[in-house]
């Protein structure tokens, strides 16, 4: 059993108190024995960089915290202390009483509170409205108990990086989402709810655009097309269709204009293939399909779409279109789901299936001094025992984790679900079985027809929904345009009310 850290509070001759911890039989003091308050001030002056949010790890005996609270320019302070034993030693100090009365300071004490805080941190976009985010730890605690304090700092830093990355994504697309929704509105109202799709039993293929998709295509070309059901993400459509393989369903979620290039040269085949589309997908993609189905996400604007309210938005809200495709396959009732092109690494120095837009774009933009490896974001090497060194990216690893969490959740609900990873040379995917052989014929059939439910709209949004729509726009003006908070709010409201007026003008009344 790990021995608990032993703390003591010692009163100095001048009446000040100091804090010490016992390590390897020796007492180590957190502050100067002569003037602990001065030690706290030195820490403060070495790290303070102006107005903003300060997350400070390590309670100590408060001396390094007091200057932050005394300075009115420290907008907010969050103090995190993993040791409840330490807190119990020092909570009766008059310093704690004084700090607790401040409206600008928050204490997170103990492992359970910290765990909840780290989890919430990833989605607390309000924190991005501060001029600065500062993550600090008291150096002596870092040095004496690195396995506790340094590790905690790393964990919080990862959550802050997730928050910043997601916040930048939200800011980047805040306007695009609204513009796409407005441009798509007439087609959205001519679309069906996801609940209108047939239900199936048996097996299906979900096709992503990783390099192993080429091996799957080679095998599929030898099989009777009527023998299998295939759901394709947008990036996989072109490689499949140019090989003569028509998907049964196509899925697209991305709002960016370049997504249109996934369908270059195959547009004529798309009209009669059903497509599951995020209503905020790029409008030129929405127009490619005659048969469209929509699904809910957590974006507050979707509360306008009444026919989607029967579906749980959490079940269809993913960063990766591949995860959404797997969720849809489960929703349709398939019990054996074969994953094609799910590599999450760059096998054989190749990143995507050969005929995909991504593959061609990367090679067109590579050169002898600027290879395609440096074109993509954040490539890292990952050591995997079974398969040696893999070239991948942080983004792909995030998508892999998202898929693994989805598979674990689905299998927990339905024990008879099976997932197979076809011909992959990439990472193992938890919850799947590697499979290098396709059956001659998939055993699947339709078991239920569903009534066609058109997407309907209710223009009356609640005030709290409008507030949630405006927040991403504020992030856009703050993080992308660099405006001050007051100006960002003003611009965000103005843009939303303009878009909302255009949305209302597009609706033909009565409905």
Domain annotation for the chain: domains and CATH numbers: 6-164 (3.90.190), 190-448 (3.90.1480)
**Residue 50 confidence (pLDDT) above 80:** yes
pLDDT grade, residue 345 (50/70/90)? confident
pLDDT winner (highest mean) among 335-339, 398-402, 425-429: 335-339
| Residue-level pLDDT at 267 | 95
Question: What is residue 356's three-state secondary structure?
Answer: coil
Residue 273 structure tokens: 């293939």
**Residue 379 confidence (pLDDT) above 50:** no
Q: What pTM was computed for the model? A: 0.79
Tell me 225's DSSP state.
Answer: G
| Residue-level pLDDT at 510 | 52
Q: Alpha-carbon distance 479 to 485, whole Å?
A: 10
- Look at 489 and 371; give whichever has higher pLDDT: 489
Contact indicator for 450, 368 with CB cutoff of 8 Å = no
**Residue 509 confidence (pLDDT) above 60:** no
| Residue-level pLDDT at 102 | 87
Q: Alpha-carbon distance 151 to 147, whole Å?
A: 6
pLDDT grade, residue 106 (50/70/90)? very high
| Residue-level pLDDT at 382 | 53
Residue 117 structure tokens: 């805080």
Nearest to 203 by CA among 245, 248, 262: 248
pLDDT winner (highest mean) among 83-97, 229-243, 339-353: 229-243
| Residue-level pLDDT at 24 | 86
Q: Alpha-carbon distance 220 to 215, whole Å?
A: 9
What percent of the chain is modeled with pLDDT above 90? Answer: 59
pLDDT grade, residue 396 (50/70/90)? confident
Q: Alpha-carbon distance 450 to 474, whole Å?
A: 41
Q: Where are the alpha helices (DSSP H) in 128-150?
A: 139-144
pLDDT grade, residue 322 (50/70/90)? very high
Q: Provide the mean pLDDT of the chain.
A: 88
* Distance, C-alpha 357 to centroid of its chain: 24
| Residue-level pLDDT at 210 | 92
pLDDT grade, residue 309 (50/70/90)? low
| Residue-level pLDDT at 8 | 92
| Residue-level pLDDT at 370 | 45
Average pLDDT over residues 231-247: 97
Name residues whose C-beta falls within 8 Å of residue 211's C-beta, 6 or more positions apart in sequence: 341, 343, 346, 347, 348, 350, 351, 352, 353, 425
**Residue 410 confidence (pLDDT) above 80:** yes
Token pair 């026919």 in the structure block, residue: 307
pLDDT per position as a tens digit, 164-206: 888 888 899 999 999 999 999 999 999 999 999 999 999 999 9
pLDDT grade, residue 126 (50/70/90)? confident
Average pLDDT over residues 402-427: 93
**Residue 235 confidence (pLDDT) above 90:** yes
pLDDT winner (highest mean) among 12-21, 82-91, 296-305, 329-338: 329-338
Strands 192-193 and 26-29: unpaired
| Residue-level pLDDT at 36 | 93
Average pLDDT over residues 243-255: 96
């Amino acid at each position: 059993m790990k021995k608990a850290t032993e703390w003591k509070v010692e009163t100095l001759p001048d009446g000040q108190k100091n804090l010490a911890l016992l390590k390897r039989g020796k007492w180590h003091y957190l502050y100067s024995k002569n003037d602990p308050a001065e030690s706290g001030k030195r820490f403060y002056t070495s790290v303070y960089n102006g107005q903003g949010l300060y997350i400070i790890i390590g309670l100590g005996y408060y001396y390094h915290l007091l200057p932050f609270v005394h300075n009115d320019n420290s907008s907010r302070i969050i103090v995190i202390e993993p040791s409840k034993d330490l807190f119990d030693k020092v909570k009766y100090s008059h310093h704690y009483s004084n700090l607790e009365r401040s409206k600008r300071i928050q204490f997170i004490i103990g492992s359970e509170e910290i765990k909840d805080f780290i989890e919430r941190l990833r989605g607390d976009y309000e924190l991005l409205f501060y001029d600065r985010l500062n993550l600090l730890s008291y150096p002596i605690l870092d040095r004496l108990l690195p396995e506790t304090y340094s590790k905690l700092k790393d964990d919080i830093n990862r959550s802050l990086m997730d928050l910043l990355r997601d916040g930048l994504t939200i800011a980047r697309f805040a306007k695009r989402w609204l513009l796409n929704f407005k441009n798509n509105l007439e087609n959205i109202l001519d679309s069906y709810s996801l609940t209108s799709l047939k239900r199936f039993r048996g097996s299906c293929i979900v096709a992503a655009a990783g390099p192993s998709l080429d091996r799957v295509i080679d095998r599929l070309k030898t099989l009777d097309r009527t023998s299998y059901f295939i759901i394709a993400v947008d990036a996989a459509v072109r490689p499949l269709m140019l090989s003569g393989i028509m998907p049964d369903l196509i899925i697209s979620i991305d709002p960016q204009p370049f997504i249109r290039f996934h369908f270059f040269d195959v547009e004529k085949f798309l009209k009669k293939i059903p497509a599951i589309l995020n209503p905020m997908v790029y409008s030129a993609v929405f127009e490619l399909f005659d048969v469209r189905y929509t699904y809910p996400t957590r974006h507050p604007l979707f509360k306008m779409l009444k026919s989607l309210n029967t579906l749980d938005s959490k079940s269809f809200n993913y960063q990766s279109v591949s995860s959404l495709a797997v969720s849809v396959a489960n929703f349709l009732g398939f019990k054996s789901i074969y994953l094609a092109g799910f590599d999450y690494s760059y096998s054989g120095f190749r990143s995507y299936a050969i005929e995909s837009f991504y593959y061609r774009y990367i090679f067109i933009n590579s050169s002898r001094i600027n290879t395609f490896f440096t074109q993509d974001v954040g490539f890292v090497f990952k050591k995997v025992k079974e398969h040696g060194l893999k070239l991948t990216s942080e983004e792909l690893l995030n998508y892999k984790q998202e898929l693994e969490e989805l598979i674990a959740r689905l299998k927990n609900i339905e024990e008879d679900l099976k997932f197979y990873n076809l011909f992959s040379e990439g990472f193992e995917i938890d919850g799947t079985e590697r499979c290098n052989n396709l059956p001659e014929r998939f055993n699947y059939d339709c078991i239920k027809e569903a009534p066609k439910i058109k997407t309907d709209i209710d223009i009356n949004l609640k005030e709290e929904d409008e507030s949630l729509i405006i927040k991403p726009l504020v992030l856009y003006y703050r993080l992308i345009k660099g405006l001050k908070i007051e100006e960002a709010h003003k611009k965000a409201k103005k843009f939303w009310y303009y878009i909302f007026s255009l949305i209302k003008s597009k609706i033909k009344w009565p409905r």
